[in-house]
Amino acid sequence: MNLNRNDQCWCGSGKKYKKCHIELDEKLDSLRAKGFHIPPRKLIKNKEQIEGIKESAKINNAVLDLVQEKIKIGMSTEEIDKIVHDFTVNSGAIPAPLNYGGFPKSVCVSINDVVCHGIPSNDTILQEGDIVNVDVSTIYNGYYSDASRMFMIGNVAEEDRKLVRVAKECLEKGFEAVRPWGFLGDIGAVIQEHAEVNGFSVVRSFGGHGVGLEFHEDPFVAHYGKKGEGMVLVPGMVFTIEPMINQGDYEVFVDEDDDWTVFTEDGGYSAQWEYTVLVTEEGAEIIAK
Ligand code: MF3
Ligand code: CO
């Protein structure tokens, strides 16, 4: 797309190109020419889109707050699904997981050695000592948001509490590594370092993702890697950071019967926390948590 300085900007702001994205585009072009991996334009959200994603995230955050208030020992994961579904729909929103690629429920609930994509069921009851990930994703007015939290049921073993704590620290450190004109690899590097010094491993075959106009957009956000590598982080990018941290090895497998539930290969427990984050001119912002 070759725009003149006085044309309307491509982003839809209605402003002239020279008063809007021209400076950013010139910077991106020069970085691209130097061989850096630059995000395509569609991954850079404009003001209106960012506002839309934030509205979606408000509902998503409220759903997780409600789950946090209600979750308790003896509850089935089906009951969590109902809480999420009903609150989301009553807010005028849509639970993004429902029917996504055939996923049958409104939320993912992943317990102990389930890494992610656990399907709520009447037969799965929260038990003393469980560590539980509840992963909530919302579509509101066409905009997507995505976040997850861990919950500990009753008395949880010390080593499992440590896993939950370190996974949260991994997410926080990953978020702190987000800065404009930094790299995706900066995020993965700090997460991998923190997980491994604590004796844990980082799941490789699943990761974070761009989000906002669709549920899963580019880029793939690896939770391992090297500082200074991968895509350049540009203001306006919105993506998730959602490290899955394992007590044992990082290998996982998908349940052959339901084609969704992801388990650790070795049966060790896995913990995950997720934010949706926005890269800003100054740094970064947590949108959904
Ligand atoms: N919420 C998950 C994520 O963080 C995706 C779940 S896909 C589903 O990316 F279909 F299982 F919901
Ligand atoms: Co996600």
Taking the CA of 116 as reference, the closest ligand is 1
| Cα 258–Cα 151–Cα 278 angle in degrees, nearest 5 | 85
Is residue 130 part of an annotated ligand binding site?
no
| Per-residue pLDDT tens digits for 127-140 | 999 999 999 999 99
Query: Ligand 1 pocket: which of 84, 98, 108, 262 to mutate (most atoms <8 Å of CB)?
Result: 108
| Per-residue pLDDT tens digits for 183-217 | 999 999 999 999 999 999 999 999 999 999 999 99
Residues with CB under 6 A from ligand 1: 97, 100-101, 103, 108, 117, 135, 137, 146, 240, 242, 274
Cα of 38 from ligand 2 centre, angstroms: 22
Query: Ligand 1 pocket: which of 135, 149, 205, 254 to mutate (most atoms <8 Å of CB)?
Result: 135
Cα of 22 from ligand 2 centre, angstroms: 31
Cα of 273 from ligand 2 centre, angstroms: 10
Is residue 78 part of an annotated ligand binding site?
no
Three-state secondary-structure class, residue 85: helix
Measure the CA–CA gap between 289 and 146, rounded to whole angstroms.
8
Domains of the chain: 44-288 (3.90.230.10)
Is residue 209 part of an annotated ligand binding site?
yes
Q: What is the pLDDT of residue 12?
A: 86
**What is the rounded average pLDDT for all residues in the chain?**
98
Reported as half-sphere exposure (CB side, CA atoms, 13 A), residue 196 has a value of 12
State the burial class of residue 158 (Cβ atoms within 10 Å of its Cβ: 0-12, 13-18, 19+): exposed
Phi and psi at residue 208, to the nearest 5°: -80, 180
Is residue 214 part of an annotated ligand binding site?
no
Cα of 46 from ligand 2 centre, angstroms: 21
Please give the C-alpha separations between residue 97 and each of 71, 100, 108, 214, in angstroms, as whole numbers: 20, 5, 8, 12
Asked if residue 2 has pLDDT above 90, the reply is: no
219 preceded by cis ω (within 30°)? Answer: yes
Q: What is the pLDDT of residue 264?
A: 99
Q: Is the overall model pTM greater than 0.85, yes or no?
A: yes
Confidence bin at 220 (pLDDT 50/70/90): very high
Query: Ligand 1 pocket: which of 114, 117, 138, 206 to mutate (most atoms <8 Å of CB)?
Result: 117
Percent pLDDT > 70 in the chain is 100
Taking the CA of 103 as reference, the closest ligand is 1
Which one, of 69, 59, 65, 54, lies nearest residue 90 by Cα?
A: 59
Measure the CA–CA gap between 9 and 216, rounded to whole angstroms.
26
Please give the C-alpha separations between residue 164 and each of 171, 190, 247, in angstroms, as whole numbers: 11, 17, 10
For residue 104, give every residue at least 6 positions away whose Cβ sits within 8 Å of its Cβ, in sequence order, or none.
98, 119
| Per-residue pLDDT tens digits for 242-259 | 999 999 999 999 999 999
Is residue 21 part of an annotated ligand binding site?
no
At residue 127, what is the residue type? Q
Confidence bin at 13 (pLDDT 50/70/90): confident
How many beta carbons lie within 10 A of that of residue 251, not counting itself? 14
Asked if residue 274 has pLDDT above 80, the reply is: yes
Cα of 240 from ligand 2 centre, angstroms: 6
For ligand 1, what atom is nearest to the CA of residue 240? 4
Asked if residue 1 has pLDDT above 80, the reply is: no
| Per-residue pLDDT tens digits for 62-92 | 999 999 999 999 999 999 999 999 999 999 9
Tell me the average pLDDT across 43-52. Answer: 96
